[in-house]
Amino acid sequence: MKKLNNCSNMTNPFDIFTNEIIHTILDHLNDDPFAKKSFSLVCKSFYFIERLHRKSLKPLRSELLCRTLNRYPSISHLDLSLCPRVDDPSLTSLSVSWKSTLRSINLSRSRDFTSIGLLRLATNCSSLVEIDLSNGTELTDSAAKAIAEAKNLERLILARCKLITDIGIGCVAVGCRKLRLLCLRWCLRVTDLGVGLIAMKCKDLRSLDLSCLRITEKCLPHILQLQHLEDLILEGCLGIDDEGLVTLKHSCKSLKNVSHVGLSSLTNGAEHLKQLVLAYGPSVTTDLGKCLLNYSRLKSISLDGCLVTCSGTKSIGSWCASLRELSLSKCLGVTDECVSFLVQAHRELQKLDITCCRKITSASIDCITKSCTFLTSLRMESCSLVSEDAFLLIGQRCQFLEELDVTDNEINNEGLKSISRCSKLCSLKLGICLNITDDGLTHIGSGCPKLEELDLYRCLGITDVGIAKIACGCPTMKMINIAYNDKITDSSLTSLSQCLRLKIVEIRGCPSVSTVGLSAIAGACRQLEVLDIKKCVNINDNGMLALGQSCQNLRQINLSYCSVTDVGLLSLASTNRLQNMTILHLTGLTPNGLAAALLACGGLTKVKLHTSLKPLLPKYIFGYMEGRGCVFHWRDKAFQKEIDPNGWQLHAGRSPEAA
């Protein structure tokens, strides 16, 4: 009896913690989508604490929004991008429930609301500082007028709101004087008049995106009066040419980021320029290099897709700025000489992208690794003339690397052994590297414990042994791609089940993988979000049952060519979060089973099906699913027993004989 009395007098050990301490604990649970839910189910006090602590919310479906209004009273950041249907009553309800707390709302993927709902939102939520209405193709000037009632708004994104005109933008300019960021990308009915009104009324603007607008240089004088403007994006503004941009050189002294294909005339302005994007723009010549000669604060430049000349790179090499980031992806004309000039002049480079620079050789890698020893990111996919010996230099000289992409290169096991010295490596892409085997992966597994992303697409020399070494040595792995490796079996998936943080697994085209391996992944990796098992013909309904029971966070799956039937597809409905399914050539699937599964998976937003199924499904299915915001994509691909083993090599520019 005495023992029972002592037990009854015991108090909750968590009572010694203050709410602030428990809130700090909750802050550390943000990475696991189920951790907070589990926390709230421990006891009533935890339920109440979690209820008050939650500040951000991202409902999985529109119908779940109403349930949260009373549960969470302090929401400040609301993301409705997973809710394709949000009507005016819903906006009204949430604006009443969170009228004093709501600060930002994302409606970029939502439809069905009108200016009425937006007006309620703007007038009720006085603390609102950010609204994202991207893709609002049906929104008109009346919607913009409603937004203008949000007097404290600082960030407004209207990308692809193609029906809004100067009249609506004028209302925003008058009503939202505190705007700091405005995105009007692809607002095709906005002209110089609307942009001019924004510039005259919203004096605190820091960032302005006018990409693809039908504007001319007439609006530039107003824009250049904005004393605090840092980011100006004029990409695709065909009405502004080099002559119009000459006006930039005398104004806008705080400008930090400019993106436009015609900036060769930018000479004496924007003294604080930090980032320059000229992707797929003008040729990189001596004249262009001289334009930016004296920009001492320039840290990042993107020249992706540009024609690069040797004289142009010499000009860049003579800049007084010391670049931290340089992107030459898919640039024509990049040679060893060009790279040498650039990296010797900019030795403090931290990020370098030379993807598809097919003329460079090992001499470039020698120069890069010798000059830029503090590189954290190196992307060099498809640099086919770089020999295997060059990869030894990367590990020897650039041991601060966090990201390395050597897809479709001649790297071998010795190169991987050298790269394993990069102990901070988080992302490694080795796709179509045909010279690597398990020995190389063993070195990576033992030397790169922080690895989170690994791409081994079509690395035909690897087996279960190499994957086991990776799984053992890299426990924080979040993404792995082992697609089209015919030596991979269930043993690899069992090994990978040790990586409890796995979110993305791609194993398509691995014929020896079965339900046994998938069940191991499903049972252990409960944060799994994306799964591609296309052409894994030995995966059947039991694998789907395992996913349905354990992987509640699964959002996207490709089941094409698997041995899944109606039963397996229906079991996926219990995952709750599934949004995207690709279902092509499932021979065990019937029209009735497919219809039942579509109805049961309430959160679907995208489904890819074969056209042969379209006339077999009940017609009401399409209206019902589309009413919930789901989009059907129909494909007419013939059934493929086996992918042509040489087809991918030809696509990558290889000859079958060479492989």
The predicted-structure confidence for 481-491, as pLDDT tens digits, reads as follows 999 999 999 99
pLDDT, residue 2, reads 44
Q: Number of helices (H) and strands (E), helices first, in the chain?
A: 27, 24
pLDDT-based confidence at residue 242 (cuts at 50, 70, 90): low
Q: What is the mean pLDDT of residues 100-110?
A: 95
pLDDT tens string 162-175: 999 999 999 999 99
pTM confidence score: 0.83
pLDDT, residue 8, reads 44
Alpha helices in 79-205 (DSSP H): 88-97, 115-124, 141-147, 166-175, 192-201
Least confident span in 66-75, 490-499, 537-546 = 66-75
pLDDT surpasses 90 at 259: no
Strand locations in 198-346 (E): 207-209, 231-233, 257-259, 275-277, 300-302, 325-327
pLDDT surpasses 70 at 385: yes
Q: Ramachandran region of residue 115, left (φ > 0), alpha (ψ -120 to 50) or beta?
A: alpha
pLDDT tens string 589-608: 999 999 999 999 888 989 99
Element of type H or E holding 235: none
pLDDT, residue 261, reads 42
pLDDT tens string 624-657: 888 888 899 999 988 876 544 454 453 444 543 3
Q: Report the percent of the chain where pLDDT is more than 90.
A: 64
pLDDT surpasses 80 at 30: no
Question: Which of 150, 140, 48, 50 has the alpha carbon at shortest distance from 91?
Answer: 150
pLDDT tens string 406-425: 999 999 999 999 999 999 99
Q: What is the mean pLDDT of residues 355-372?
A: 96
pLDDT, residue 243, reads 56
Q: Ramachandran region of residue 592, left (φ > 0), alpha (ψ -120 to 50) or beta?
A: alpha
Domains of the chain: 54-223 (3.80.10.10), 274-386 (3.80.10.10), 493-513+524-637 (3.80.10.10)
pLDDT-based confidence at residue 140 (cuts at 50, 70, 90): very high
pLDDT surpasses 80 at 225: yes
If you average pLDDT over every residue of the chain, what do you get? 87
pLDDT, residue 522, reads 96
- For residue 274, how many other CB atoms are within 10 A of its CB? 18
Q: Taking every pair of C-alpha atoms in the chain, what is the biggest distance, in angstroms? A: 94
pLDDT surpasses 80 at 32: no
Cα separation values, 270 from 163, 237, 245, 251, 616, Å: 33, 19, 12, 7, 62
